[in-house]
Structure 1
Amino acid sequence: MAASRIIYLLLFSSLFSCKSQETEQEGTPVAKNVILLIGDGTGLSQISSAFYYKSTQPNYARFPFIGLIRTSSSREDITDSAAGATAFASGVKTYNRAIGVSDDTTEVATLVEIVSQQGIKTGLISTSAIQHATPASFYAHVKHRKQYEDIAAYMIDSDVDFFAGGGRQFFNQRSDGRNLLVDLEANGFRVDTTALGAFTDIKTQSRVAYLLAADHMEPVAKGRGDFLPKAAELGLQFLTKDGGNFFMMVEGSQIDFAGHQNNADYLISELIDFDDAIGKCLDFAEKDGNTLVIVTADHETGGFTLASTERENEDGSTYKDYTEINPTFSTKGHSATLIPVFAYGPGAESFAGIYENTEIFHKILKATQWSPGK
């Protein structure tokens, strides 16, 4: 009798345990959409500047999960944007200057290529030329990041559904005399080289390309205005118009440009603009409930520091005034500092911790259960 009761209890416990595991697995949220925002060159000090210089609460403060990534490339301790973005887009470490290829220059599949084969819409937005290192790493495969005309040619046959940025000259002012804008249109793109339009202007289109500058877009303080948050909002409207899932990458490119120039005003204005774009994406994700938003950077640029202001006493001695910030730089290149990762939405908790930059790719696939392909 006692033995029978023990067997019964063991069986009951086993069944209950299996049921609990099934419930836990069934209850795990799966992201249907992903927005990856990359603030090129943005380290913790750049992000911190928004908390001192933005007139409203930064959108960075809205994220419940924060992690850190190591950014070294396959051959260098300090990465460049090409190797850094390839790590995000393909989950592999590669050498600096490589776009969509591994360390041995073999082509590697990108997120855009992988998910497009599964019927998922894709979009790329940048304040640089669309052929620049970060956006290029999501759709092109070249040995060197400066092969801009070759990179532009990859866009023609890509599966990108929506893109916006600069880089028009690499389509229509080429050394080979070709006009790839014509080829874009032949492959289903509506091409606009004037300005972002309203959603009503593009809602019946299957693919849309905005090429709004010959090379990079103007800085936000010199005429670009609110292009980035508006493009993010328009991209979300377009990619969701048919009710399917999507992946969208949004890059705030010129935070990096400002870091290279050691120009604090330029940097802070670009960072605040990028934060506004983050807000548009978070607003969408909060309403949608099925969208994973990730914000990170490929590397830090400039060795940016929110230092104190140095002042002089009447006797000529100096002191640090801790009541006023003086943004400073230690380099005109990149640095090897760990980079923050912010995440919101289904699967966001997996982005906490410290890990390699290649894990961004793998964590996206895990959170969405999108097949990694062959």
Structure 2
Amino acid sequence: MKLFLAATLSVMAFTGFAAEQPKNIIMVVGDGMGPAYTTAYRYFADDRASAEIDWTVFDRHLKGMASTYPARVSGYVTDSAAGATALSSATKSYNGAIAVDVEKAPTPTVLEWAKQRGMKTGVAVTSQVNHATPASYAAHNEYRRNYDEIADSYFDDRVGEAFVLDVILGGGWEYFIREDRNLVEEFKAAGYQYVDDMAALSTLTPGKPVLGLFADTGMPWALDTPTKQRLPALTKAAVKQLENDNGFFLLVEGSQVDWAGHANDVASAMAEMHDLAMTLEYLESYVKQNPDTLVVVTADHSTGGFTIAANKDYRWEPDWLKNLKMSVESLAKALVKSDTPVAFIEENLGFALNEQEKATVNALQEADEKTWFKTVSHILDVRSNTGWTTSGHTAVDVQVFAMGKGSEVFKGHMDNTDISRHIFKMLGKTE
């Protein structure tokens, strides 16, 4: 399903740049990051040696709250596609919609609007680059899981004569290197730099368009990367490539906060939050050096019904989550082949199991990966006293954070569509 916006954009009204128009706009989405996640991260990151609870980068830039419901046809609980469509195009749509309205007509996005204004554009995400959130800013499709079509549209569709995206960083080999089409080679032939190793980000020629893919689908968990971080590196590289006299629009997504929530995996949730927090700390310093930059941060929804304390026990102990050597998913895969599961779990969780935990582990004979995942996750939930109500999304409002030029307009309670409306106005769009 190919949908072109060049004609639509060309007939829509523009005004000149407003006085408070930021030169650069960076939109950050913590997918699945409801209020419990930012609160939990505060306690996870807290220095126990100090008398007071330390504020995080989220606390420093909190501006308000936003509702997340989709179009009426999908009820009150949004998926990531409808949520991102609201955030990108100020349009309420059905769950599964990629920047189309309920009639499946394309809706112009803030990223495309920025491109029409001569700004450079990019996405830097830890999911596949054609996943729901980045796709909803840079493509149009009736269904989020039409991954090949969405990847194709990144090359085939244009805003005017230009490619929609100057920078594309994240996962996605599976969708860009296929039997029927090799989009990597097509992008290279069109003048894009291509990298498939994170270390190669430092070798890129600044200012030149780039496609960087670093995994088959989503990137490895933060806990499975050497530095326990990867989004800061992607974001820094994207900013370096996009900087120019006309400014840029960049969509950054901490994609796997959501995936950890779906899996009810508190250890990965906190590691993904740390990855995102380190990204925001970099952007905080960038805004100080470039005060004409606006950074807006929010979530599309909350995931998992994450509860900080469970079972009527007034306790949450995140220290048990701080010394993992690998993700619970990777640990579960390795345990299928382990002859000494207790010792292996203790080594990789960073603490000794108690007698009850040892008995539970030793009782598992030839357990599969799913069973091991549930067992280890349960140990961490009990130790930290973490609760979950669902493996899906919830309908709670989410927080809105902002820093830099124009950030004051995001104060108070708003709808998720108001976020993109404010950005559209900053980009000179009239109603």
Quickly name the TM-score band, shorter chain normalised: 0.7 to 0.9
The answer to whether the aligner puts 1:114 opposite 2:100 as a matched pair is no
1:320 aligns to 2:313 (yes or no): yes
- Opposite residue 33 of structure 1, the aligned amino acid is N
Q: Distance in 2 between matches of 1:145 and 1:186?
A: 28
Taking every aligned residue pair, what percent have the same amino acid on both sides? 34
- Over residues 137-156 of structure 1, what are the superposed CA-to-partner deviations in whole Å (9 max), with x where a residue is unaligned? 11111111100000000111
Deviations 1:153-172 (A, max 9, x none): 01114321112100111011
Per-residue deviation, residues 102-144 of structure 1 (Å, max 9, x unmatched): 1100011122211111110111011000111011111111111
CA change 1:27–1:125 in 2 (3 A) is closer
- What is the match of residue 66 of structure 1? 63
User: Which structure would you say has the larger Rg?
Assistant: 1
Task: Note the C-alpha offset of 1:347.
Answer: 1.5
Contact 1:264 1:328 in 2 (8 A): no
The amino acid that maps onto 2:135 is A
- Alpha-carbon displacement from aligned partner over 1:80-116 (angstroms, at most 9, x marks no partner): 0000001111111100001011110001112221111
Q: Which residue of 2 aligns with 1:330?
A: 389
Cα pair 2:193 2:204 within 8 Å, conserved:
no
Which residue matches 2:307?
Answer: 305
Residues 1:263 and 2:265 are matched in the alignment: yes
Query: Pick from 329, 332, 353: which aligns with 2:412?
Result: 353
CA offset digits 1:265-296 (Å, max 9, x no partner): 11111111111111111110111111111110
Alignment check: 8 A CA contact 1:305 1:329 kept: yes
8 A contact 2:309–2:316 mirrored in 1: no
Alignment of 1:287-302 (within 5 A): 287-302=289-304
- Match for residue 365 of structure 1? 424
Pairing partner for 1:33 from 24, 30, 40: 24
Matched, 1:187 2:219: no
Between stretches 281-290 and 50-59, larger displacement belongs to 50-59
Match of 1:93 in 2: 92
CA distance in 2, matches of 1:196, 1:118: 33
State the number of aligned residues. Answer: 333
Question: Do the aligned residues in 2 keep the contact of 1:229 with 1:276 (CA within 8 Å)?
Answer: yes
Segments of structure 2 that go 5 or more residues without pairing to the other structure are: 1-16, 48-54, 157-162, 318-383
Matched, 1:163 2:168: yes
Q: Separation in 2 of the partners of 1:178 and 1:360?
A: 36
Match of 2:277 in 1: 275
| Structure 1 residue 196: Cα displacement | 4.4
Structure 2 residue identity aligned to 1:52? Y
Q: Which amino acid aligns with 1:30?
A: Q
Flag the 1:27–1:136 CA change in 2: closer, same or farther, 3 A: closer
Secondary structure of the residue that 1:234 maps to in structure 2? helix
SS at match of 1:165: strand
Q: Which moved more, 1:157-166 or 1:207-216?
A: 157-166
2:208 corresponding residue in structure 1: 206
Contact kept, 8 Å, 2:308 with 2:316, in 1: the verdict is no
Which residue is 1:20 aligned to?
none
Once the two structures are superposed, residues 202-227 of structure 1 have per-residue CA deviations (whole angstroms, 9 ceiling, x without a partner) of 21x52011101111100000127422
Match of 1:48 among 14, 27, 39: 39
Residue identity matched to 1:91? A
Deviation at 1:345, TM superposition (A): 1.4
Shift of 1:348: 1.1
Asked whether the equivalents of residues 199 and 237 of structure 1 are also in contact (C-alpha less than 8 Å), the reply is no
Q: 1-side partners of 2:239 and 2:127: how far apart?
A: 19
Q: Distance in 1 between matches of 2:153 and 2:257?
A: 26
Match of 2:234 in 1: 231
